[in-house]
Amino acid sequence: MVKQRMMVLGAGAAGLAAARELLDHSMDVVLVDKEDRWGGRAATYGCKATHRCTACGVCLLLDLLEDMEQREALAFYPRTELVGWKSRPEGGFTATLRDAAGKAWDEQVSALVVATGFTPFAARLLPDLGYGRLPGVLGADELEERLRIEGGLFLDGQRAKKIAFVQCAGSRHLLLGADYCSTVCCQYALRMALAMQQDFPDTEVTIFYMDLQAHARGFDEIVSVAEEQLRLLRGVPMHVERQEEGRLLVKYEDVEGARLQESPFDAVVISQGIRPGASTQQLALLLGINRDEHGFFMRHGTTQQSSRPGVYVAGTAGGPGDIRQSIASGRACAAALMQRNEEVGA
Ligand SMILES: Cc1cc2nc3c(=O)[nH]c(=O)nc-3n(C[C@H](O)[C@H](O)[C@H](O)COP(=O)(O)OP(=O)(O)OC[C@H]3O[C@@H](n4cnc5c(N)ncnc54)[C@H](O)[C@@H]3O)c2cc1C
Ligand code: SF4
Ligand code: SF4
């Protein structure tokens, strides 16, 4: 029997999960990523345990990374992009790849899993919050990385003790083109806040939110702890300015009190939502597949199938999701792809 050769584009949680599943079913896999490392965005996140595991999902990715390092039947091309895609008359596709040195070559594959992920909302699109202008205003993606590398949030060598999180940044916002919930930012914000408080009990955190979405399994429990330990404030920060002594003054609309209020903080964290990946539009054109009304690759119903037979969509390339869901989606893609092979008798 001729071994099937599959391509997976994107080596984040979803792409790695799809690749692993395909390898487990004795397929050859060509895994391509535009970066020079595996793991995607979640590889930059740290553990968010308090006195116990809060099931943030980062371990799931670490296990996947460790497992994939031992796979020999995998051709991994880092710093490489897909630049051509053609159906072959005899079935399958010819994919043209190009590496960072400009070398291009063709690969013959039976099918493709697109797992090119997402982009965090660009916080500078909310200029009144001061991102990129005021020191101490940072994106949640930067906080994730700082907690992993530095173990806390330090600004000019001083630990930030009073921290505000601004939820729904760039999500549920019609004018910013994203009238959907990103599903992950309530989870990661509460977990990061509780983890910081566990390590440094004098940390005070205010979460400015409109609605807390407990999408993940077991997350209700974390919300209950957060209600006791954090200040959860239904309010919309309108403006952030720097005070003379260097603190950040947040002016906000207190929704429950229906009035404008202000409060000083050492740091303001913008909880960015999930936006389509930077190359989504260009890839949709190249592959001849559709995008949905928010710009993510379209999937048909609950299947992982794109609008073109033989091309599947995994993880956040198809819309918001956490690490656990992205891994599940990658595995589901591989399963759908193998079923298709059986049906066409490949
Ligand atoms: C601030 C923040 C914190 C988060 N914290 C958590 C958390 O604690 N727990 C949790 O479960 N989830 C968390 N999430 C969500 C989590 O990041 C995603 O669920 C996960 O990263 C999705 O994996 P993915 O494989 O779909 O995409 P990605 O992680 O984005 O991986 C996509 C991969 O594709 C590659 N790629 C992109 N374009 C191309 C291209 N054109 N050609 C080749 N390769 C390409 C990228 O380099 C990358 O390696 C958080 C999200 C944000 C924004
Ligand atoms: S909090 Fe996250 S990284 Fe830490 S042990 Fe639990 S799942 Fe793993
Ligand atoms: S998960 Fe929470 S912060 Fe993120 S968009 Fe939904 S409600 Fe807003």
pLDDT computed for residue 343 by the predictor: 75
Q: Which atom of ligand 1 is nearest to the CA of 321?
A: 19
Q: pLDDT for 324-333, tens place per residue?
A: 999 999 999 9
Residues 246 and 330 reside in one and the same domain: no
- Give phi and psi for 261, each to the nearest 5: -135, 170
Ligand 1, atom 9, residue with closest C-alpha: 56
Distance 304 CA to ligand 3 centre (A): 24
* Average pLDDT, rounded, for the chain: 93
Q: Which residues of 47-58 are buried (b: 16+ CB within 10 A; e: fewer)?
A: ebbbeeebbbbb
The neighbour count for residue 229, using CB atoms within 10 Å, is 18
Ligand 3 pocket check for 271: Cβ under 6 Å: yes
Site to substitute for ligand 3 among 121, 166, 172, 316, most atoms within 8 A of C-beta = 172
Structurally, the chain folds into a number of domains equal to 2
Ligand 1 pocket check for 81: Cβ under 6 Å: yes
CATH code: domain of residue 327: 3.50.50.60
Q: pLDDT for 133-147, tens place per residue?
A: 999 999 999 999 999
Q: Identify the domain boundary among 273, 306, 327.
A: 273
Q: Are 205 and 231 in contact (CB under 8 A)?
A: yes
Ligand 1, atom 6, residue with closest C-alpha: 188
Residues 269 and 126 reside in one and the same domain: yes
Residues 126 and 243 reside in one and the same domain: yes
Q: Identify the domain boundary among 232, 250, 273.
A: 273
Site to substitute for ligand 2 among 51, 59, 191, most atoms within 8 A of C-beta = 59
pLDDT computed for residue 128 by the predictor: 96
Strand-pair category, 137-139 with 28-32:
unpaired
pLDDT bucket at 71, cuts 50 / 70 / 90: confident
* Full domain range(s) for residue 157: 121-273
Residues 104 and 22 reside in one and the same domain: yes
Residues 284 and 243 reside in one and the same domain: no
Ligand 1, atom 30, residue with closest C-alpha: 117
Integer angstrom CA distances of residue 336 from 209, 308, 333, 339: 38, 14, 5, 5
Residues 266 and 303 reside in one and the same domain: no
Distance 65 CA to ligand 3 centre (A): 28
Token pair 């960015």: residue: 272
Ligand 3 pocket check for 272: Cβ under 6 Å: no
Residues 234 and 126 reside in one and the same domain: yes
pTM for the full predicted model: 0.96
Q: Identify the domain boundary among 246, 273, 300.
A: 273
Residues 131 and 81 reside in one and the same domain: no
Residues 135 and 108 reside in one and the same domain: no
Q: Report the percentage of the chain scoring pLDDT > 90.
A: 84
Ligand 2 pocket check for 48: Cβ under 6 Å: yes
- Retrieve residue 343's tokens: 């049906």
Q: How far apart are CA 242 and CA 244, in angstroms?
A: 7
Residues 283 and 142 reside in one and the same domain: no
Distance 186 CA to ligand 2 centre (A): 17
From the CA of 138, the nearest ligand is 1
Strand-pair category, 231-242 with 248-254:
antiparallel
Q: pLDDT for 279-308, tens place per residue?
A: 999 999 999 999 999 999 999 877 899 999
Residues 57 and 28 reside in one and the same domain: yes
Q: Which atom of ligand 3 is nearest to the CA of 187?
A: 1
Residues 90 and 193 reside in one and the same domain: no
Q: What is the mean pLDDT of residues 159-188?
A: 91
